[in-house]
Amino acid sequence: MAQKRKRRGLSFYEEKKKIKPGFWKEVFSYIFYLFMVTLIAFVLVLVFGMRVSTIGVSMEPTLAHGQEVLINRMSYILFKPECGDIIAFKPNGNEKSHYYIKRVIAGPGETVQIIGGQIYVNEKPLEKYSYDRIETAGLAATPYLLGENEFFVLGDNRNNSEDSRSGNIGAVQRDDIVGRVWFCFAKDNIAMGFVK
Task: Over range 61-81, report the average pLDDT.
Answer: 88
Dump pLDDT digits (tens) for 156-174: 999 999 999 998 899 999 9
The values of phi and psi at residue 27, to 5°, are -60, -50
Dump pLDDT digits (tens) for 82-103: 999 999 999 887 788 889 999 9
Q: How far is it, in rounded angstroms, from Cα 94 to Cα 147?
A: 20
pLDDT value of position 7: 56
Q: How far is it, in rounded angstroms, from Cα 150 to Cα 169?
A: 12
Peptide bond into 61 cis (omega under 30): yes
Q: Catalytic: 102?
A: yes
**Residue that wins the pLDDT comparison between 183 and 130:** 183
Q: How far is it, in rounded angstroms, from Cα 102 to Cα 69?
A: 12
Whether the CB-CB separation of 177 and 76 falls below 8 Å is answered with yes
Q: Which of 90, 102, 161, 164 is catalytic?
A: 102
Q: Catalytic: 164?
A: no
Q: How far is it, in rounded angstroms, from Cα 171 to Cα 107?
A: 9
Q: Which of 11, 17, 29, 58 is catalytic?
A: 58
